[in-house]
């Protein structure tokens, strides 16, 4: 992975248009949002055990924080909102302050791609669930994938 690509991501950070906007943006939760809590609740109800917001250290000093991580099966799940992560179906570019929002949203989408690539090259399976996806179906899919990967790993070494 190219480290200049990572450095370029840091250069795309525009400044907020005002102190009020800065306060608003800093109040947005990084973790434990309502959709994430619902996802974890459904996974837990299915009997699945996982780590939340686990820091995964990757090569080239990269870090990833999947919303949900199955460490033994090496499955990283990200629950992405359509706006912040530039969903190809529902993502939209704001009409106001495009000079600020366009680079910010582009940087988020690029960081998603960088994390996904780094996790995959380290042997993780990355699952991205969009906010518009059927959450019950996504949880069913995750349960099947987790069971299959655990079966491939063999019995647990407790």
Q: What's the domain count of the chain?
A: 1
Contact 79, 129 (CB under 8 A): yes
What 3-state DSSP class applies to 60?
helix
Task: Tell whether 94 is covered by a domain.
Answer: yes
Task: Write down the pLDDT at residue 158.
Answer: 46
The pTM for the full model equals 0.79
Contact 129, 75 (CB under 8 A): no
Write out pLDDT tens, residues 21-69: 666 666 566 678 899 999 999 999 999 999 999 999 998 899 999 999 9
pLDDT tens digits, one per residue of 63-97: 999 999 999 999 999 999 998 888 888 877 877 88
CA–CA separation, 66 vs 141, rounded Å?
Answer: 17
Q: Which residues pair with 63 in a beta bridge?
A: 57
Q: Give pLDDT, residue 154.
A: 75
What pLDDT is stored for residue 12 in this prediction?
54
- Domain containing 129 equals 30-151
Judge whether 7 lies within some domain.
no
The reported pLDDT for the residue numbered 74 is: 96
In angstroms, the CA 5 to CA 113 distance is 11
User: What is the tens place of the pLDDT at every residue in 107-143?
Assistant: 999 999 999 999 999 999 999 999 999 999 999 999 9
Whole-angstrom distance between the N-terminal and C-terminal Cα of the chain?
Answer: 35
Domain-located, residue 128: yes
CA 136 to chain centre: 18
Structure-token pair, residue 154: 């063999």
| Domain containing residue 114: CATH number | 3.40.960.10
Mean pLDDT, residues 7-34 taken together = 66
């Amino acid at each position: 992975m190219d480290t200049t690509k990572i450095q370029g991501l840091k250069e795309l950070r525009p400044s907020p248009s005002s102190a009020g906007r800065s306060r608003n943006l800093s109040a947005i939760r990084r973790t434990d949002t309502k959709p994430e809590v619902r996802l974890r609740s459904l996974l837990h109800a299915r009997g699945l055990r996982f780590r939340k917001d686990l820091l995964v250290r990757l090569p080239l000093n990269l870090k990833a924080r999947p919303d949900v991580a199955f460490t033994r099966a090496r499955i990283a799940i990200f629950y992405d909102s359509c706006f912040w992560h530039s969903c190809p179906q529902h993502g939209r570019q704001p009409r106001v302050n495009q000079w600020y929002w366009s680079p910010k949203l582009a940087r988020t989408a690029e960081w998603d791609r960088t994390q996904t690539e780094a996790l995959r090259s380290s042997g993780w399976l990355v699952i991205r669930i969009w906010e518009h996806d059927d959450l019950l179906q996504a949880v069913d899919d995750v349960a099947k994938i987790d069971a299959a990967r655990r079966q491939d790993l063999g019995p647990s070494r407790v």
